[in-house]
A and B are shown apart, each in its own frame.
Chain A
Amino acid sequence: MQCKNLAVAVKLWALLCAIIGISLTSDTVLTCVLSVLGFAYLATQKNRRLLCSFGIFYIFLAALLYLIRFHNLHMVIFSEFYVLMFWNLSPVFIVAWDLITTPPGELSAFLSRIHMPTPIILGLLVMFRFFPTMKAELKSVVRSMRNRRLTALGQVLCHPAASCEYVIVPLLLRCLQIADQLSVSALARGADYPGVRGSYYGKALDWRDGLWFTLWTVGTAAFLLVGGVRL
């Protein structure tokens, strides 16, 4: 299903509200109110994938909290501290993840509109491309290593330093090559043009954006009023 993204400005505002709410609240457990608001926010954008993954994780955290509170559950690795920390920070994770998975074109359109310098916009676009590209390259390196029989357990255990080198050196060389090719590609397509950058997307604010701007503002204010502010 195609996501119906809200405007980037609203997403940034939602993130700011979530951070303020989480930072100032004195009732940690009540942050579930902001999380529910976050889930509704994802549902409105039809971001089903994020909704499902965060939803399952949140239900898991809720179950752990219940067991910790009422059945004295103690875990060695994922202790109570971490459970509460993730529970508390969930609204920020939800909103932040939604923001960073916004199509890069929409982000660059927003940055162009606020007259952000082109080198910063291009830097952001490169950053968004870098991680998936390096992930694909890493997969390719590991596949080649398997083809050359360099991933056998005996090989890795007997020559750990060499095994690391086999991964890191081709990856670094590829990284340099990609950086070089990206520079060439950018300059050949006018990246050094001195004027203001245009945008294919440039979404105008609509009633949904206005609604969610209001909901996050009112929701966070109400949350802080009811839950109390930590001073």
Chain B
Amino acid sequence: MIEIKNLCFTYSDCKKGVQSIDLTISDGECVVLTGPSGGGKTTLTRLINGLAPNLYPGSLAGSILIDGQPLWELPGWAIGRQIGSVFQDPKSQFFSSELRGEVAFACENYGLSKSEIRIRTDGAISAFSLNRLQDQSLDVLSSGEKQRVAIASVYALSPTIYVCDEPASNLDDEGAERLAAALRKLKADGCTLIIAEHRLSWLSGIADRFIYINHGSIRWERTAAQMNRISSEQRRADGLRELIKAEINKLSAPGGNTAALCTKNLCCRRKRTEIFVDFNFSLYPGQITALTGHNGAGKTSLALTLAGLWRESGGIVEIDGARHSAKQRRRRIWYSSNDTGTQFFTNSVTEELLLNADRSPERIDRARQLLKQLGLYEYKDVHPASLSGGQKQRLSIACGILSDRSILIFDEPTSGLDGGNMEIIADVLQSEAKQKRTILIITHDMELMRRCCDCAINMDADRKYQGPV
């Protein structure tokens, strides 16, 4: 049992933290921490797995008891043995470039025997259906596959408590379902699950209790049954995502009079691997098109090729009826990557928006409006690196909108965003579509698709266009 009593924590390098947290989590219970971005969910997970204040220093008061024993009295490695941690961004946390080495890492650290390490590692690889990735470098896996590797590496150690910080933010529906099945199995085995998450629908049937955290404190607690009765208005007011996976109305394939962008037999090959072949589709001005498909289907590769950041290995891309080379496409198409860590180059949010552009009063005014619309105005003078993940995503969208390019491609713009921010982004994209801009969104987010997409393209496993979703 985990007992948290009057817990207060403030980071030493900023004023953020949590206050007056009282929470009891029974053995075998699945508790979901939810609420707006920056509300304190991640801080609470860091306190439970002992990373704060050990690695994230700050002032601390109150206590956390694990089976009656104060957490702070345990050494870090002892906490890690009992409490497994799954983080949001797995790719920069790998210690090995190959699957077995990474999954075995924790077992190796705890000095288990070779036979025990092998049994646990191979078992975890099978449990998460990772066998086919055995001979691939982890660097080339899709983000969903990387997340499954990260979870498998924790699973191999068999902790009794799992603390997960947005584990499904980069997973497609199938990946999330597979993760849900794994968590269901852990729960059936008696493990305690604490999951900080915005996406709630995949947790249906697993979560016992939902804790809503905002401004650093618990605002309310609801059981799964109570959550199912919550009204849509209340859910939206709290900035929550959908609780049950709702079926999306069938979106048609893109259609219209004059295509803004058209591909003919487009092919992409990287290092002797065919990523997609003979891909034919069109995008139309004023429409928001969703590009969907499984993790690893080649969506990002397609976007990079369209934007001229990768050269196509065959076929052509036409913009407004004329064939465009990769270099020409870069002038017409904007691409916002899912990974915002390396997208910003200046010292402030405002400078970032005006980078490489004229500073006319109209543009400055437009930048100001956009920052306000995206909830970033109060951060206009801060360094982009100091923004949270969700804020960086919104800044990247703002940069795309302020660019003079008529075709905008956004790669997973709402992964890891709460319901409120998802609504804001949907509104902004819709208003740009009304200005006759062509927008392509790579997404697994059904809620976003239902909210703002007009049509959809699906890439299936054999990397060929399959028509309407």
Residues on A lying within 8 angstroms of B by beta carbon are 2, 103-105, 108, 112, 118, 122, 125-126, 128-129, 132-133, 136-137, 140-141, 143-150, 155, 165-166, 169-171, 173-174, 177-178, 181-200, 202
A189:B111 contact, CB within 8 angstroms: no
A141:B342 contact, CB within 8 angstroms: yes
B341:A177 contact, CB within 8 angstroms: yes
B330:A146 contact, CB within 8 angstroms: yes
A166:B111 contact, CB within 8 angstroms: no
Separation of A181 and B85 alpha carbons in the complex (Å): 13
Query: Shortest CB–CB separation between residue B402 and chain A, in angstroms?
Result: 11
Enumerate chain A residues within 8 angstroms of B205, measured Cβ to Cβ: none
Separation of A129 and B93 alpha carbons in the complex (Å): 10
Residue of A nearest to B122 (CB): A200
Enumerate chain A residues within 8 angstroms of B341, measured Cβ to Cβ: 137, 140, 170, 173-174, 177
Since A105-B104, A190-B109 are in contact, a sample of 8 more A-B pairs with Cβ atoms closer than 8 Å, ordered by chain A residue number, is A126-B95, A143-B304, A146-B309, A173-B385, A181-B89, A182-B92, A186-B95, A195-B110
Residue of A nearest to B383 (CB): A173
B330:A149 contact, CB within 8 angstroms: yes
12 contacts between A and B (CB under 8 A): A103-B96, A133-B139, A140-B341, A178-B92, A181-B92, A185-B95, A187-B76, A190-B80, A190-B110, A198-B108, A198-B110, A200-B118
B87:A184 contact, CB within 8 angstroms: yes
B109:A193 contact, CB within 8 angstroms: yes
Separation of A191 and B55 alpha carbons in the complex (Å): 13
Choose one: A129, A148, A171; the contact of B94 (CB below 8 Å).
A129
Enumerate chain B residues within 8 angstroms of A118, measured Cβ to Cβ: 109
Residue B382 CB within 8 A of the other chain: no
Residue B234 CB within 8 A of the other chain: no
Choose one: B51, B92, B108, B114; the contact of A108 (CB below 8 Å).
B108
Separation of A149 and B403 alpha carbons in the complex (Å): 11
Separation of A173 and B54 alpha carbons in the complex (Å): 22
Separation of A128 and B109 alpha carbons in the complex (Å): 17
Contact with A along B310-341 (1 / 0, CB 8 A): 00000000000000000000110011010101
A140:B76 contact, CB within 8 angstroms: no
Choose one: B95, B117, B157; the contact of A199 (CB below 8 Å).
B117
Residues on B lying within 8 angstroms of A by beta carbon are 49, 51, 54-55, 75-77, 80-81, 84-85, 87, 89, 92-98, 100-101, 104-114, 116-118, 121, 135, 137, 139, 153-154, 157, 304, 307, 309, 330-331, 334-335, 337, 339, 341-345, 355-356, 385, 399
When A and B form their complex, which 10 residue pairs have the shortest distance between CB atoms, in order from nearest? A105-B101, A185-B93, A189-B106, A200-B104, A190-B109, A193-B77, A188-B85, A195-B111, A140-B342, A166-B345
Residue of B nearest to A151 (CB): B330
A188:B80 contact, CB within 8 angstroms: yes
A182:B93 contact, CB within 8 angstroms: yes
With known contacts A169-B345, A196-B111, A182–B55 Cβ distance under 8 A: no
Query: Shortest CB–CB separation between residue B351 and chain A, in angstroms?
Result: 12
Separation of A174 and B335 alpha carbons in the complex (Å): 20
Choose one: A136, A144, A195; the contact of B343 (CB below 8 Å).
A144
A144:B101 contact, CB within 8 angstroms: no
Enumerate chain A residues within 8 angstroms of B89, measured Cβ to Cβ: 181
Residue of B nearest to A104 (CB): B96
Enumerate chain A residues within 8 angstroms of B77, measured Cβ to Cβ: 190-194
Residue of A nearest to B93 (CB): A185
Separation of A170 and B355 alpha carbons in the complex (Å): 15
Interface-central residue, B76, B104, B105, B157, by most chain A CB under 10 Å? B105
B51:A145 contact, CB within 8 angstroms: no
Separation of A132 and B96 alpha carbons in the complex (Å): 11
B97:A185 contact, CB within 8 angstroms: no
A189:B80 contact, CB within 8 angstroms: yes
Interface-central residue, B101, B106, B110, B157, by most chain A CB under 10 Å? B101
Separation of A36 and B94 alpha carbons in the complex (Å): 37
Enumerate chain B residues within 8 angstroms of A183, measured Cβ to Cβ: 55
B330:A147 contact, CB within 8 angstroms: yes
Enumerate chain A residues within 8 angstroms of B331, measured Cβ to Cβ: 149
